[in-house]
Every structure is written in C-alpha cells, then in structure tokens.
Homo-oligomer: A and B are copies of this chain.
Amino acid sequence: MDEEMRCFAWRGDVLHLLDQTRLPQQEEWLECHSAGDVARAIVEMRVRGAPAIGIAAAFGVALAALRAGAGDSSELMAAIEQAGQTLVQTRPTAVNLAWAVQRMQARAQALKMLDPEEAALALLQEARTIAEEDEAANRRMGMLGQALLPAKASVLTHCNAGALATGGYGTAVGMIRAAHEQGKEIHVFVGETRPFLQGARLTAWELQRLGIPFTLITDSMAGHFMRQGQVDAVIVGADRIAANGDVANKIGTYSLAVLAFAHGIPFYSVAPTSTLDLSLSDGAKIPLEQRSPREVTHIGAVPVAPEGAPVAHPAFDSTPHRYVNAIVTERGVARAPYEESLRRLVEEA
C-alpha cells in the first residue's frame, strides 16, 4: 500500500487489486490476469466504489486486449466486446462501470488502424489515463467542496468514498481531506455502514492513516448526534446521479439525507461527472442492486441471525434531489435546479 492509498497497481502485465474484503485486518493484493478475474473481483467486492470499479473494468478491457493474441483488428474488437459485456454485467447501479467500458471501446474503435499488439498497449495506457484523470478530478472536487465547509466542522460520512473507492484521493473523503489539508479543523463521524461495513473497515482505516480525527458510530446513531448539534454537514459519494439531481448511493444514504434535512444540516454528494447519467430523468429509473442475504445474516463468517431468517438487502437507495444541497463535481458545484446546473456542467466540457 503506497502512501496515496491506491487500491490498484499495474505490475508487469498483471492488475493487482488491494483485496477490500480483507481490510483492515489484512492488506492482501489480488492478481487479475484476465477480464474474467477483474469481473470476479468486482462481483465479490474485492474492489468496490463507483469510480474504482470503473477503473478496474478499464484495466479489465486492457487485459482482454493484451491477452487476446488477436491476429487482426476484428479479432481484437471481438475480445474487447466480450470482455466489456462481462464486466458491465457485474454490478448494475454504478454508472461509472458502463462509462469506463464504453470509453475503452470507443478508444479501441479509434485505434483500429494500429496492429492489435500496439492497440492493446494503447488501451492499457487509456486505462491508466482514466485512473489518473479520476484522481485529478477528485483533487479538484476536493478543493471545490472544501470551500463549502467552515473553518471548524464536524461532518458525517457514510460508506467509503475515499481513495479506496476511486483512482486515488477520494470523492466525499477527498472533500474532507482537502479541508483538512487547507488547515480547517475537521472531525468526521464515520457511519459503520452495515451490512458490508465499508465505513468501519475502510473509511476509518483511511482517516487513521491520514491523521484526520474521527469517531466511528453505528448507522443508527446518526440522528442522535445530529440532534445534539454535533454534525455540521453530511458528505457522501454517489453511484449514479440522474438528470434531476436524484442521487443513488449506498443503502442508508436516504435515511441520512432525511435526517439532515430535518435538522437543517447541509447534505452534499461528491462525485465525478462520470457518475452523472443524464439519460435518466430521475432516481426512480436507476437500477438498485439487491445483494445476498448472507451479508446481512453474517458478519464475516459469524452468523448474527437465526438460521433461515428472511432478509432484504437492497445495496443502494435513491435520495431525492430536494434533500441534496449541492453536488460537487470536478467541473464545479451544482445546485438546484439540477436539470439546468448538471446539464450545464456536462455541456461545458
């Protein structure tokens, strides 16, 4: 793990992913030799976070190209097409996954004139560029976002929208880091984020390494600390944002948004423009992944419910734009009405 806490590394001709199911107890790296390996890592949540799975998928497409042994451009394109299909089907909610695969496929199309080997190397470079651009975007939105915070602030975040969820630096955690780096006095309430515990396992781990003061809480404590006046802002990432500003994000985000609204606390979603899906008019059209009951009934290998207990496990929820005070992107801070402000950000590109 380098000091920048990147969750991926390209070494030799293999993609290495920091296994996020093992953190914080173990720092194990997983080797991905093929697009199939990457798809499996995404399904098993060894890599997770909307921008990070987009980046992993981009490297997956590059791996498919490098391993294809394609004799000509159409063989290469077929291999890339197949890899893209496999990768896009892994998880439905984060739009960054489809965005990254489409960008890789468009690049492959543009590289058709090259011989397959050269094209594969150029695709690997494209995956690297996607990752680098994501980190750069995070640093920009961090700076834009931190300006929304006062000189002293206690903020609450949910899930992990940090370095581990992105190309580096983080989105929601990036905004917190930027405020901290600007010398602001920041304290973070970290919601543990059941069932997968990304807050307890990943965000707490990142903040500890960054030396940013934090307090780990269970998700249900959020309202209590808001009522006590201890929360100045709620800052989360996003998995997909519809044209009207509705935000799909980790399950529990909606509850936090309603609670923040009821207490007059601003609620910010921080996400790169690759998370915007202006083809969807509103959040009701965003597919919300249902995951395995086992993640609810077990914590690691330990059962916490009676055998056979029926379970619901929506992994995401959708927060209506009326609860969202601002959407922070690398191109600027969007405010309501979001139809206009988000479209303007995209068109200005």
A residues neighboring B (CB under 8 Å): 24-25, 158, 189, 191-195, 197, 200-201, 204-205, 208, 213-225, 227, 251-252, 254-256, 258-259, 261-262, 296-297, 299-306, 308-312, 314, 317
A259 CB → nearest B CB, Å = 6
In the docked arrangement, what's the CA distance between A53 and B158, Å? 34
Asked if A252 and B312 sit within 8 Å, CB to CB, the answer is no
CB contacts (< 8 Å) of A254 on chain B: these are 223-224, 227
Asked if B220 and A255 sit within 8 Å, CB to CB, the answer is yes
CB contacts (< 8 Å) of A189 on chain B: these are 312
Asked if B252 and A255 sit within 8 Å, CB to CB, the answer is no
CB contacts (< 8 Å) of A192 on chain B: these are 194, 296, 304-305
In the docked arrangement, what's the CA distance between A237 and B251, Å? 26
Asked if A296 and B216 sit within 8 Å, CB to CB, the answer is yes
Query: Beyond A194-B194, A218-B194, A225-B312, is A205–B255 a contact (Cβ under 8 Å)?
Result: no
A186 CB → nearest B CB, Å = 14
Asked if A312 and B215 sit within 8 Å, CB to CB, the answer is yes
In the docked arrangement, what's the CA distance between A213 and B311, Å? 11
> Closest B-chain residue to A310, C-beta based?
B215
Number of this chain's copies in the assembly equals: 2
Asked if B296 and A217 sit within 8 Å, CB to CB, the answer is yes
> Closest B-chain residue to A197, C-beta based?
B304
In the docked arrangement, what's the CA distance between A224 and B316, Å? 9
CB contacts (< 8 Å) of A304 on chain B: these are 192, 197, 200-201, 299-300
Asked if A305 and B24 sit within 8 Å, CB to CB, the answer is yes
In the docked arrangement, what's the CA distance between A189 and B314, Å? 14
A221 CB → nearest B CB, Å = 6
A285 CB → nearest B CB, Å = 15
Contact of A297 among B214, B216, B220, B317 (CB under 8 A): B216
In the docked arrangement, what's the CA distance between A296 and B221, Å? 11
Asked if B302 and A300 sit within 8 Å, CB to CB, the answer is yes
CB contacts (< 8 Å) of A255 on chain B: these are 220-224, 255, 259
CB contacts (< 8 Å) of A224 on chain B: these are 251-252, 254-255, 314, 317
Asked if A219 and B218 sit within 8 Å, CB to CB, the answer is yes
Asked if B215 and A305 sit within 8 Å, CB to CB, the answer is no
Asked if A258 and B219 sit within 8 Å, CB to CB, the answer is no
Q: What would 10 A/B residue contacts be, using CB atoms closer than 8 Å?
A: A194-B218, A204-B309, A216-B311, A222-B255, A223-B252, A223-B254, A224-B317, A299-B299, A300-B304, A302-B302
